[in-house]
Structure 1
């Protein structure tokens, strides 16, 4: 009857009976014993290969006679087994997200292959077991309770993702059948399963939600009917639980998209009316007997929470014309007006009623208060809703916002007894999404910034409170808190500018010495938000910094120290550490740094680490005396953190420790960067840091690989010490063990080893071999084309840098690349990079290059076709070379072909007519790129870097806030992308628009160009001069080669050659002028150097040819 289980129950039971349940139960029970777990899991893995395993598990889970431990273990095993093995690799459409499938199709990727060319394995679960589970699962969920039920619901979620709708069409009928019964006990279970379906579609694009909309056409009316039935006739907790789940389902369905096919305006209105009724409903009095923490989690209060979620999301996403992007449908605009005018007043009045109860000390759950304030905050932005709110804003600020911003007894207890936890709670980034205090801060901040008179009313209220002789410390904390919240707005309002310094001196400075610790902390917090204030009295500025330094270095309260450190950080940021401020800080610098390190060791809070990084960056010279001591302490702290991570602790704390440890590594990186010009200090720092490099790489602590590799990169950025060569071998070990996926990050370090200590690299015979073998491992094992492109780049850099030591390695490199070309290459980036390696070999030593090609082709016949096709592929791909370096390599290779020895003409005969046209295109691209970069440099010198820190202007009471919509932004981005599409190859010049100024497609630096080579280091390598010299050499050709080169050159392309020659002369003159200027001025007695000729005559077997004239 339920869940379709009846249809296949007999078959499934028979399948289960084929397996002996006893050993399965025994193995499940054994998984609960740590010493037996591994052996038990191996047995279960063997059982799972037998058809009927899933029915067996279900029978155990549902059996009241079985031990509950075995039943729970069975439910967990079923969930994990289904999650791992249910997807069928032979049907990617059933297992992959449609967005991923569409993207994969666009780039010609076969998503049926997960890793390289290895096909996904078929699901080990038999079709019979799959059919059984689809038919029985909902029935099983209805027959169980948590903790069994939650595991089965998760398994249902996997089936939904993989099989719905095509392979599980009966799912909706099962849901509908269950909800159509009058058995309220089963409703919530089936609603939770249905919620898993809605969650699957929650964030999908509108066009991909068709199956969900079709389902909702049938199910949503039934859900509303059940909700109203429960609302009217049942006040049990079970009823509240089902109501809450229905509201969660509806919220997930409308969160991003509103389907008017499913929810026309009037239907949506019915749901909104129901939400209003939920807000207005009095809750059962029995809840008053519960503890406040228990009340907040009770389903009755959660019904109100989810009703508010729906109303708020409808308002901000669908319910205001000002929030809608341009070009929306008539239905959307109509609904937005319908909601704003039909529900704004009603919802706001309900919210005020809830907040009035809260004001009268009637219990309201914190999440409900938070969502009420978030709704009012959204109302501030819209004229229609603001008119309703503004009449109550003074009472709202005085009696709701202000009390929320006063410290409470629980916070004071936490502050005094567990200061670290107090600070963690205050700095929790998730807090603003759930805390009524954060909601109060955000409402106040928006209201004072966006609506006239609110700031003045707030300041007047604060003045009244602060001048009250009976003010308590908690009330004073609220005043300071509010001052901090509105500080960024106050500082930019001319009305208050002249008074602010007096307010700070009179009310904030004294509290920095308050006997009440939480007031000292709050005063530091408030000063943070006045960091941009320019004091008219310099003594006050000095006093401010001195007070903060005192609180950081001398206060005994940890929260005070942390607030002072964070305030100091903002003062350093906003003043750019003027010399006067530095002079105040420098005498205390060592104790400031050591106190911050001490705080970090106590709290492991990353926010404080950021302060240390800022100080190290600003005071690098002044910190040199303690740089080694700082490093040693941070290294010891890091070792302590990773040691404590290995001990059992809750997941949240483990994550916090990881973040803190990452912060240490980033700070060490900052220290190394700042001490780079002090080799004697750097050597000592390096020795300490090597300890943690060794720990992370030897022990395979993957969480820190990226940061450790960044640290090694920084340590080797200029020179490579013997200690860092030890790290080189550690990198190799980690690479082969578990770090191959990090090759792009490893590449930064390896590049430094090659270019910054080439003698050290070649001094040990194994080092070059290690580099090549790592590249080979990446390419042979198909670690992804991005990693392969990095491997190709590394080989290019090594060949450039170590050309005199490469004779043995070159054949192996050629064979590796030729072998890779035998497999499919999807991205042009990888193909161009591999071609580029060949080009570099050709340019550096043409004779050795051709000899190597012949040797490899002779020794490995499978590579002959690839090698023979290399030149054709190069000519075909020339238009794709981008950036400066890649174009320069291509240009130098083409110039080599222009002056190639006659011995090799047969090898390149098929591509000779393409050489000059490709030269023209590559050099045109280089000229444009150089000119573009010069213009960019010029712009950088003249740009005004002032940041616009202004607060948004007040909105007139009758106006909506102007909103930049995400959809508008995406539209602009799309237009910009279309403007940058590449059209044509640019060779003939027919379609070459000079006014296409937006086409930066082939000007931008490629991702791999950041890895420098001797091409960048050697200024004497001028590809333009080499091109002209190559043309000059061709004049002496007597073989007919020049004729073959010129046969396809058009008149337009001759003009391009003329432009290249003129540009070459201009570059030469500019270089000579720069040299003379650097030498101290011009010497007019020098004879002008002869520039390249403006035409070339080629005398060959045919008549004399002037390259710059049309060929007759």
Structure 2
């Protein structure tokens, strides 16, 4: 098996690179005869291979379909439809049809035309297969795998636009009836894994997830009649009338499992709650929900907001992962707790009358029971959920009578005591809630000070999640603090805790808080600037290393890396009046700049250029090390960075205007020649829009204004270049810039006595412009 797996991976990688190479001159092209042989034989292996190898083969088939269908592979659709008729080939046909339909999932209407033929040819057969599978008594897990493929095919086919074939009421009804049948039907008990991770990935739960996904998509597309094309309004009305309520009822029935201690995968809960949340805005749907709203709110939604066994296990066993999941945007998209918070927020926003009051009363009762209970039986997890609810509703409560007048008292009575709780997750939640309300008007400033100092103390908490939530909350207190003398005496200790925490976690919010502190204290940060930059640079490299090593955390690592760069810019701005500090900081930042000014830094290029701009503008002089960055920027501009030309202009201006002598005299590298190569390439490129090259004439002006009398040999080439581009200019702003450059160069040319050669051409162009 190992040898076969290596072979399948090698084949996949070879096909990915060589089947349709990006570079037309790529030498490793596959001859057309070999391609035909592959297309004729590859599909037959789908059903013959075990899942591990099939996944690699599927990637190869995907490459072929993306490149060749339908033009070079017209027989593919016939192969699919033919094999859908053969019972022992159904899996292979559906597997390939899934890949084929996915090609068009995000395509525009014009590009989706081949999909409509696929639907026309395959969906009648697909519906028959689906119906047959649903009717099987005591189905084995292989049936779930087939149904899951059918759901994925349907999802890809309807994601952007519903094919007109499905607008036919009887056909659409047949699909929905089957979806609802499966959604209402209990999953088989036999064969269900006991391991939590294996359980949520089990085929029958995956079927529930995909059906819920599909129904949510249909509802989000057809819930609002105002956004529809005329031809689909009748379908939307039919969907609202006949199906939206049935789906809601089915979802509520599924959620009942939570009340009775049953199991639902987190993703299914999340999707169902999204459907309920979207339903709150429609009167007809809310009327269906209203009789059960108390059950939904107090027996389903609120328990999901409470700290649970999984939270405790993660808190104890892997606090770093607990922190990552708590601050990960992607995790939020799939989290039942986040979906529950969204439901509560939308409920009080859209249906606040009555619901807000009874929900707050419910929270108050939890607070009272907690306060009255002995320490052994206090409902700690319910208190955690109640605090989460109060924090979630902060914007609403700040604006609503009578609650806004009671917020300070609520904090003092029910939040402040938890700062000293022996339960770690309550200390963390207290810090988070305090941060949510840091901007309210405190009648007693001692309460503000107490909250802020409790949050600052949380930075030294033995539990990592408490420290991170305290950092998050501190940002709000620093923003809201009117008297910085409250923080100033402890600023060194505060920054020490930041340095320690930055060495432990990659958290974007930590960097945001640091930015806020730097912004508020300005030049007072000077004594700490070098240490801060060193810590941020180290954090940046850790973020880069983790995102490169683990694809699953690539997004969060990249976000934290961007945050580090932004914080570095904030620090450099705060010490802009202290040039000597830039000399000390520069060696720390140079390795980052050298790496990220290449194509490796495309995602953070704007932030990196801002740092280069600060270093080249505020340093007493531009060092030779900083000059080594010039070729990197010009190489990027000539290759892939034209979209960043406006950003590149700033440091290039600094190099020329503040390092004129070195710019003019140095011949290795030759900066003048490098500039000419870049600007002439941009300005002669026929594919460049006027808006793309606006920085070019600005840079020419910078060049001649700062190097006057030292670069006379460049006047004629630049004059010729500018005149040629002026002929093609269409946008008034670019014309104006080019005219300014022309005038400047004409004056220089007059001094050099060759202006007469160009004056006639220029006058003709000027008259044409006028």
Count of residue pairs brought into register by the alignment: 755
Give runs of aligned pairs for residues 323-472 of structure 1, distance below 5 A: 323-325=224-226, 328-329=229-230, 331-451=231-351, 452-468=353-369, 469=373, 470-472=377-379
What CA distance in whole angstroms lies between the structure 2 residues aligned with 1:526 and 1:211? 53
Give runs of aligned pairs for residues 17-96 of structure 1, distance below 5 A: 68-87=1-20
State the Cα distance separating 1:170 from its structure 2 match.
1.4
Give secondary structure in 1 for the equivalent of 2:712. coil
Check conservation: 2:715, 2:749, Cα contact below 8 A.
no
Give runs of aligned pairs for residues 342-741 of structure 1, distance below 5 A: 342-451=242-351, 452-468=353-369, 469=373, 470-552=377-459, 554-573=460-479, 575=480, 577-578=481-482, 580=483, 582-638=484-540, 644=545, 649-653=549-553, 656-686=556-586, 688-690=588-590, 692-693=592-593, 706-718=606-618, 721-723=621-623, 725-732=624-631, 735-736=634-635, 740-741=639-640
Give secondary structure in 2 for the equivalent of 1:217. helix
Check conservation: 2:719, 2:742, Cα contact below 8 A.
no
State the Cα distance separating 1:334 from its structure 2 match.
2.5
Measured against aligned partners, the alpha-carbon deviations of 1:221-263 in whole angstroms (never above 9, x if no partner) come to 2111111101112501111101011011112211221233443
Check conservation: 2:700, 2:741, Cα contact below 8 A.
no
Measured against aligned partners, the alpha-carbon deviations of 1:750-784 in whole angstroms (never above 9, x if no partner) come to 1112234545644x344994133233156459887
Measured against aligned partners, the alpha-carbon deviations of 1:334-364 in whole angstroms (never above 9, x if no partner) come to 2223222322332222222211122111222
What CA distance in whole angstroms lies between the structure 1 residues aligned with 2:21 and 2:490? 65
Give secondary structure in 1 for the equivalent of 2:263. coil
Give secondary structure in 1 for the equivalent of 2:160. coil
Cα distance change on mapping 1:72 and 1:792 into 2, 3 Å: farther
What CA distance in whole angstroms lies between the structure 2 residues aligned with 1:179 and 1:732? 59
State the Cα distance separating 1:297 from its structure 2 match.
0.5
| Corresponding position: 1:801 with 2:700 | no
**1:775 match:** 676
**1:133 match:** 38
**1:209 match:** 112
Cα distance change on mapping 1:870 and 1:82 into 2, 3 Å: farther
**1:950 match:** none
State the Cα distance separating 1:373 from its structure 2 match.
1.2
State the Cα distance separating 1:304 from its structure 2 match.
1.0
TM-score relative to the length of structure 2:
0.89
TM-score relative to the length of structure 1:
0.63
What CA distance in whole angstroms lies between the structure 2 residues aligned with 1:512 and 1:874? 73
What CA distance in whole angstroms lies between the structure 1 residues aligned with 2:618 and 2:549? 41
Measured against aligned partners, the alpha-carbon deviations of 1:876-902 in whole angstroms (never above 9, x if no partner) come to 3x3xxxxxxxxxxxxxxxxxxxxxxxx
Give secondary structure in 2 for the equivalent of 1:755. helix
What CA distance in whole angstroms lies between the structure 2 residues aligned with 1:800 and 1:536? 59
Cα distance change on mapping 1:128 and 1:437 into 2, 3 Å: same
**1:949 match:** none
Check conservation: 1:394, 1:457, Cα contact below 8 A.
no
Check conservation: 1:142, 1:189, Cα contact below 8 A.
yes
Give the structure with the higher percent helix: 2
Check conservation: 2:119, 2:165, Cα contact below 8 A.
no
Check conservation: 1:341, 1:384, Cα contact below 8 A.
no
State the Cα distance separating 1:460 from its structure 2 match.
1.3
Check conservation: 1:792, 1:833, Cα contact below 8 A.
no
Cα distance change on mapping 1:711 and 1:462 into 2, 3 Å: same
State the Cα distance separating 1:556 from its structure 2 match.
2.2
What CA distance in whole angstroms lies between the structure 1 residues aligned with 2:744 and 2:668? 20
Question: In the alignment, which of 264, 267, 270 is matched to residue 171 of structure 2?
Answer: 267
Give runs of aligned pairs for residues 214-363 of structure 1, distance below 5 A: 214-233=117-136, 235-288=139-192, 290-318=194-222, 320=223, 323-325=224-226, 328-329=229-230, 331-363=231-263
State the Cα distance separating 1:168 from its structure 2 match.
2.0
**1:872 match:** 764
Cα distance change on mapping 1:179 and 1:768 into 2, 3 Å: closer
What CA distance in whole angstroms lies between the structure 1 residues aligned with 2:701 and 2:631? 19
Check conservation: 2:134, 2:178, Cα contact below 8 A.
no
Cα distance change on mapping 1:767 and 1:817 into 2, 3 Å: farther
State the Cα distance separating 1:275 from its structure 2 match.
1.1
Check conservation: 2:306, 2:382, Cα contact below 8 A.
yes
Deviates more, 1:491-500 or 1:274-283: 491-500
Please report the RMSD computed on the Cα atoms of aligned residues, expressed in angstroms.
Answer: 3.3
What CA distance in whole angstroms lies between the structure 1 residues aligned with 2:226 and 2:148? 32
Consecutive unaligned residues in structure 2, runs of 5 or more: none
Higher relative contact order (CA 8 A, sep 6+): 1
Deviates more, 1:373-382 or 1:562-571: 562-571
Cα distance change on mapping 1:588 and 1:261 into 2, 3 Å: same
Consecutive unaligned residues in structure 1, runs of 5 or more: 1-67, 90-113, 858-866, 879-917, 919-1112
Larger Rg: 1
State the Cα distance separating 1:636 from its structure 2 match.
4.5
Cα distance change on mapping 1:127 and 1:627 into 2, 3 Å: closer
Deviates more, 1:453-462 or 1:414-423: 414-423
